[in-house]
Structure 1
Amino acid sequence: MARGWPVTLSDGHVGVRPLVRRDAGAWARLRAENREWLTPWEATLPPGEGSVPESYTGTIATLRRRAREGTAMPFAVTWAGDMVGQVTVNSITRGSAQFASIGYWVSRSHAGRGVTPTAVALVCDHLFTRAGLHRIEISIRPENAASLRVVEKLRFTEVGLAPGYLHIAGQWRDHRVFQILKEDVPEGLLTRLREGRRAD
């Protein structure tokens, strides 16, 4: 089991909690309603590598197995208690790296409300404290303005461009790579986010 997992976190109306089987209905509805909004940014498998599970059952089974192995933390993102998206911590690496990557999506109906930056900040703070990680990475396609706004608000550091980083929609796509280190945010990422909002 991943260190610091399972956990439920919240700030105001925004919360993150472990994905569970009973989320199947809400997950399927959100994915159907937001297909056009999400599909351009989501990883696919290249020919010959099978297919990414499209059902919630397949997805949650894979994520729960990875959580048991200590390499992932699959969170539902909630607004006032209702599921509106997902934050997934992937590739948790221990040893000398103490690293993880984060991916996220939110329903278009809740985009622009600060839900995703708050959810990501909650998760990062947890990873730096209870989970004991040192570095968190987020990789984003250069065309994904909404996702880039999240790392801008959280003041992640851009470390470079990764050509052909992920297979998406039939092609290998470039990604901009961002990171944050534990020592970058001694006050915590959620505190940084709140201070940035007050300064706007």
Structure 2
Amino acid sequence: MSRSWPVTLESGRVGVRPLRRRDATAWARLRADSAAWLTPWEATLPPEGGRPATSYVAMASIMLRRARRGDAMPFVVTWDGRMVGQVTVNGITWGSARSASIGYWIGRGHAGQGIIPTAVALVCDHLFLTAGIHRIDIAVRPENDPSLAVVRKLGFDDVGLARRYLHIDGRWCDHRLFQLVREDVGTTVLARLTD
């Protein structure tokens, strides 16, 4: 473990904390309640990609193992201390790149309340200011208007269309790629939400 993981971050009623194995029941309930809302945007493994984790505990174990290696940071998003979504930092690359990718989702019942922009901003600030990441990438399906609103609100730069970028809901889908580099942020990403 390093000084950048595990960590809990908060701003008002929104928080992010490390994913835990004991979150299984809350995670399953939230995912079941939001299945139709999330399925069109969910990454899936292509047939040649092997078998996906078959349970929450298996998925959490894989993510936490990657976090211990410094390759990922799986966060639960909370609202008043209750799980409402997830922000996951993946593909952490050190050396001369010092980059990472962020993915996120929120349960349908909490969408549109500014929770995810705040959670993503908290994680970005942590990556830039504590972990020492230089560039953060987010990939968004061009038709995912709520997710596009998040990256635009946070000031991510649109760097172009990546054709058939991720396997989503059983097929390869185009994504718009967005990035934010430390030098372009100013004080904090979180401050961009109040500007």
Alignment TM-score, normalising by the size of structure 2: 0.97
Q: Secondary structure at the match of 1:186?
A: coil
Alignment of 1:32-47 (within 5 A): 32-47=32-47
Equivalent residue letter for 1:151:
V
Q: 2:83 and 2:61 mapped to 1: Cα distance?
A: 18
Q: Secondary structure at the match of 1:77?
A: strand
The alpha-carbon deviation at position 53 of structure 1 amounts to 1.9
Q: Secondary structure at the match of 2:65?
A: helix
Deviations 1:12-37 (A, max 9, x none): 00000001111111000011111111
Q: 1:2 and 1:172 mapped to 2: Cα distance?
A: 35
Alignment of 1:61-100 (within 5 A): 61-100=61-100
Unaligned runs of 5+ in 1: 196-200
The alpha-carbon deviation at position 143 of structure 1 amounts to 1.0
Matching residue of 2:30: 30
Alignment of 1:63-142 (within 5 A): 63-142=63-142
The alpha-carbon deviation at position 98 of structure 1 amounts to 0.3
The alpha-carbon deviation at position 101 of structure 1 amounts to 0.1
Deviations 1:6-60 (A, max 9, x none): 0000000000000111111100001111111101111111113223224210110
Q: 1:120 and 1:94 mapped to 2: Cα distance?
A: 20
- Does structure 2 retain, via aligned residues, the 8 Å contact 1:124–1:189? yes
Q: 1:27 and 1:156 mapped to 2: Cα distance?
A: 28
Q: 2:2 and 2:136 mapped to 1: Cα distance?
A: 15
- Does structure 2 retain, via aligned residues, the 8 Å contact 1:71–1:90? yes
Deviations 1:163-198 (A, max 9, x none): 010111221110000000001112100011111xxx
Q: 2:170 and 2:21 mapped to 1: Cα distance?
A: 30
Alignment TM-score, normalising by the size of structure 1: 0.95
Deviations 1:110-152 (A, max 9, x none): 1110000000000000000110000000000111111111011
Q: 1:173 and 1:129 mapped to 2: Cα distance?
A: 33
Equivalent residue letter for 1:150:
V
- Does structure 2 retain, via aligned residues, the 8 Å contact 1:100–1:137? yes
Unaligned runs of 5+ in 2: none
Q: 2:122 and 2:51 mapped to 1: Cα distance?
A: 31
Q: 1:51 and 1:3 mapped to 2: Cα distance?
A: 33
Equivalent residue letter for 1:106:
I
